[in-house]
Structure 1
Amino acid sequence: MAKKIKLKTSKTNASPNAFLNSISDERLRKDSKTLLKLFKDATDMKPKMWGHSIIGFGEYTYHRSNGDEGQFMACGFSPRKSGPTLYIMPGYTDYSSLLEKLGPHRLGKSCLYLKSLDGIDLKVVTKLIQVGLKDLKKKYETNF
């Protein structure tokens, strides 16, 4: 039987709107509110805080090679000092054709780093979210 693990970054009852309203940098707060609406519309899910600084949508169950299992958000974003970071849990490795159209960004495995939303094609962000959720459903047990 799989051992359920609890991650350091887990779902909380904190308010995503209160969190966004607490951001002192006006540009980052505005970009984050734009992303909140975009993620809500793209996922048709309610936002939840994950840890102290990530707004997530949906959940999935993953299994580690040792048999442990855990829950994590299916997608989301975090307003970092350096700019918004977007999380698409399957990762971005198969999305190069979309990423070419996105605008200025840097990539991590499941992280998309933006300096701001200036020059970013929000339709491409919406497509990345939707394709990421579709791909996540193919591989994992999801709750969305």
Structure 2
Amino acid sequence: MYELKTKETDRSVIEFIENVDNPKKREDAYKLLDIFTETTGFEAKMWGPSIIGFGSYHYKYETGHEGDAPLVGFSPRKAKHSLYFATGDDRRGELLKDFGKHTTGKACVYINKVADIEIDVLKALINQSVEFLQGLYPSK
């Protein structure tokens, strides 16, 4: 049976951020923590060893695979900050046009530093992701 690696843990978010080696990246992680907390209204939780997540939802695919995941989150990685938003909504692409300097992967948006992005667009991306996922996977 497949075991999901990214689960909510009891690890301290602040301890995790304090252990980020690069002082500028650590400072940006605190800025992102404030923005995500303020925008979602959810308490930050560690998901797996390195993702700071906000809120959660339970998903179940047609294949029978199911699990829990954060509604949104971020991780201060060595190279770049990884931002986690829902991918299934067309509004994400429209918002990213005005987001600022970033790259995208399959499920992540990557930024070098908070100064490179538009904070209002970040908040819109956070809200869009939360609304989309809560609509797709309503809590019982």
TM-score between both structures, scaled by the size of structure 1: 0.89
Residue 107 of structure 2 is aligned to residue 110 of structure 1: yes
Distance change >3 Å, CA 48–CA 19, structure 1 → 2: same
Matched residue, 1:7 = 4
Amino acid at match of 1:98: L
Structure 1 residue 68 displacement after superposition: 2.7
Q: Is the 8 A contact 1:90 1:135 kept in 2?
A: no
Matched residue, 2:13 = 16
Amino acid at match of 2:71: A
Q: Is the 8 A contact 1:101 1:121 kept in 2?
A: yes
In 1, Cα distance between the equivalents of 2:120 and 2:127?
11
Q: Which runs of 5+ in 1 are unaligned?
A: none
- Of the candidates 27, 36, 59, which is equivalent to residue 24 of structure 2? 27
Q: Give runs of aligned pairs for residues 27-66 of structure 1, distance below 5 A.
A: 27-66=24-63
Greater alpha carbon shift after TM alignment, 45-54 vs 86-95: 86-95
Amino acid at match of 1:32: A
Structure 1 residue 65 displacement after superposition: 2.3
Structure 1 residue 92 displacement after superposition: 6.3
Amino acid at match of 2:52: I
Matched residue, 1:74 = 71
Aligned residues: 140
Distance change >3 Å, CA 93–CA 109, structure 1 → 2: farther
TM-score between both structures, scaled by the size of structure 2: 0.91
% identity of equivalent residues: 36
Q: Which runs of 5+ in 2 are unaligned?
A: none
Residues 52-107 of structure 1: CA distance to partner in whole angstroms, max 9, x if unpaired? 11100111111122223211111100000112110013456432221111111111
